Structure 1
């Protein structure tokens, strides 16, 4: 089936979408006991109320399901709420909802294929017209960048670790619900009320006014991104909420505002990771680097160490050169960095992707790509590769020593 047609078929109020990037845990690459696809509580509270309860242990529901992207036949999956933490009052018990048994009726499910780690998956729940509850699931796993780019052009960037769920027609009309996060403690500058600040302005203001309680670069990156998002949402509220509360004269007016919000969020998320890394490098003493330098074939790697000039100087010892590419996800994008700096044989790649398959990691090794991820994300990678991945702190210290 064509992906565009599939989206068109599901674009209605009778479908509820859950969208995420598959983690190594989802695809069974981490040997975790938590088998199956994790789903958020808001989704079960809305369309799977049968299992959203704590008076019985581990309530479940069986639903028909099909993975349309790979032409799989219909099967039966189990949606279950593991609720021992609340049902049995176990402090260390489980409190999570998952879709399991993808490999029970059928073997070799694409959702349990390590090669799909990092891919965007859409779970489209068909809703009963009377009760509004889920009666079945159609899934689509994006098979490449073309499909991912098409989807993200419609609903915004799908970041690793983020869970996006909403009625399909809302998502596809430009209505992208913000993650539920606590309100920022910072007071917004008065001039932000009249002019929406750039991403760099927001990050600079955060850096000057928020005191982070960590001296670890990996945790600092995670904390900064979280606080930046809180700040961004408050600015967005200043510029959008009044318009929403005032109502709309037409559907076109609503769609215009929704698309404006969507485009701004895409623009913000695309550049913020690089800005945060640039600031963190300087804070931890890695002060010599160039950004967006032009190399062979007019390529522009995200970071070159120690400088653009050093890279262009053929007399400079190439053993002292380093390159860092920055990509929120790397499944189908890591090969893009291979020819960005020909003088540097080993390419470092920073990513937020939650795991890769062992096969893909070996492919990266064969091409001399070295992964760099926040320390906390290492546990989301297969155990056999964790020792071969650098944390952000490792990368900073190693590059400084060179």
Structure 2
């Protein structure tokens, strides 16, 4: 871990621009399609490589040195290119950074879901950056270092900005704050609990969405928007006023970090609990105790049934909840000894076929919102469960229970 810490301190101290995301299956090539590498939004490429932002020639490009600090491999020459053939009779109009090099961890399917940081060394005169330093997290411990500072990095989230601000622990604007919500006055004085935010958010959910898969994705987005707004109200003025001492800064940074971690740990479970009830799945227990004082996220149909020697073991179910499942899925294997088929709900955007095979052989069945299925390798999509499928199956299984 010392190497990762040292790398973070180094890029925070220099004039680096950070781009952070979790690698999707499309990024790494795990979906099996022809890939050109990690997607970088056009506005970031434009900011870092301004010389290609023109239509005077077809597909202008420049090269920059790509160094990977997290893995031992030679540097490569990445290519920043503006595909602008829309202005030359074609249809394409996008900017990308490609050619990360053969064997790059950015294009290893086994790194699907890994938290990844790209540190671009900005030109102080506003010209093109000459290089990028890459760190692909190789363990949950490394990911925890980042998320303990800036909060949960969910699949699909793109974070960018000066490294010193992001790694300082108090940067608030990873995504634009939506100010359309008229939050309760009491929240301006005291930060609400996760349950309170979700209850308030219920009045803003999309009315046309009636399936649990669509509802979950929509509700998580709205709840997170509200959380960011409340956080801004509680922290922004303090940051603007500055700090009288290092201790004051650290105290606030720790408070923000702890709150973000607390929200990340409970938000998804709370949304699922609400959706189970709304869609007629009444028989479940949260944080029930099993062998060795283990506490699976959801146990079906109840804790009493699990501990009843007369209840058929084949009718017991467990659902673990992990925003991302790379490496972390092994943590759930021994949470309920009587259950052979473990269900795991995740928002991860794909897994490699090798990762999926290992999960399946360990008795893990993935439950994934329907909209994310296309991000998984085609060979495994038919074996994924939607949230709707999971709910319907369990309602039928426990239909005779009182």
- The 5 Å alignment of 1:82-97 reads 82-83=83-84, 87=87, 93-97=91-95
1:260/1:50 CA distance change after superposition, 3 Å: farther
- Aligned pair partner of 1:198 in 176, 180, 193: 193
The 10-residue stretch of structure 1 (145-154 or 288-297) with the greater mean CA deviation from structure 2: 145-154
Structure 1 residue runs of 5 or longer lacking an equivalent are none
Q: For 2:211 and 2:93, how far apart are their aligned partners in 1?
A: 30
Q: For 1:277 and 1:195, how far apart are their aligned partners in 2?
A: 26
The CA deviation at 1:50 is 2.4
- Aligned pair partner of 1:230 in 225, 236, 241: 225
Q: For 1:186 and 1:275, how far apart are their aligned partners in 2?
A: 21
Partner of 1:356: 351
Is 1:22 paired with 2:20?
no
- Normalization by structure 2: what TM-score? 0.91
1:89/1:302 CA distance change after superposition, 3 Å: farther
The CA deviation at 1:149 is 1.9
Partner of 1:8: 9
- Aligned pair partner of 1:162 in 151, 157, 162: 157
The CA deviation at 1:290 is 0.1
1:368/1:126 CA distance change after superposition, 3 Å: same
Q: For 2:56 and 2:177, how far apart are their aligned partners in 1?
A: 29
- Aligned pair partner of 2:364 in 366, 369, 375: 369
1:272/1:177 CA distance change after superposition, 3 Å: same
Does structure 2 conserve the Cα–Cα contact (< 8 Å) formed by 1:69 and 1:142?
yes
Any idea what the Cα deviations from partners look like across 1:302-357, whole Å, max 9, x if unmatched?
00111111111111011111110000011111111111111110000000111110
Any idea what the Cα deviations from partners look like across 1:4-62, whole Å, max 9, x if unmatched?
22222222242111111111111111133452111134422432222344565443221
Partner of 1:100: 98
Partner of 1:79: 80
The 10-residue stretch of structure 1 (39-48 or 59-68) with the greater mean CA deviation from structure 2: 39-48
The CA deviation at 1:154 is 3.1
The CA deviation at 1:78 is 1.0
Q: Secondary structure at the match of 1:25?
A: helix
Partner of 2:400: none
Partner of 1:386: 381
1:8/1:398 CA distance change after superposition, 3 Å: same
Structure 2 residue runs of 5 or longer lacking an equivalent are 398-402
Is 1:300 paired with 2:298?
no
Any idea what the Cα deviations from partners look like across 1:181-206, whole Å, max 9, x if unmatched?
46254421121121110111000111
Q: For 1:10 and 1:299, how far apart are their aligned partners in 2?
A: 40
Does structure 1 conserve the Cα–Cα contact (< 8 Å) formed by 2:284 and 2:301?
yes
Q: Secondary structure at the match of 1:81?
A: strand
Does structure 1 conserve the Cα–Cα contact (< 8 Å) formed by 2:48 and 2:128?
yes
Any idea what the Cα deviations from partners look like across 1:192-230, whole Å, max 9, x if unmatched?
121110111000111256453210111100110111112
Q: For 1:6 and 1:343, how far apart are their aligned partners in 2?
A: 44
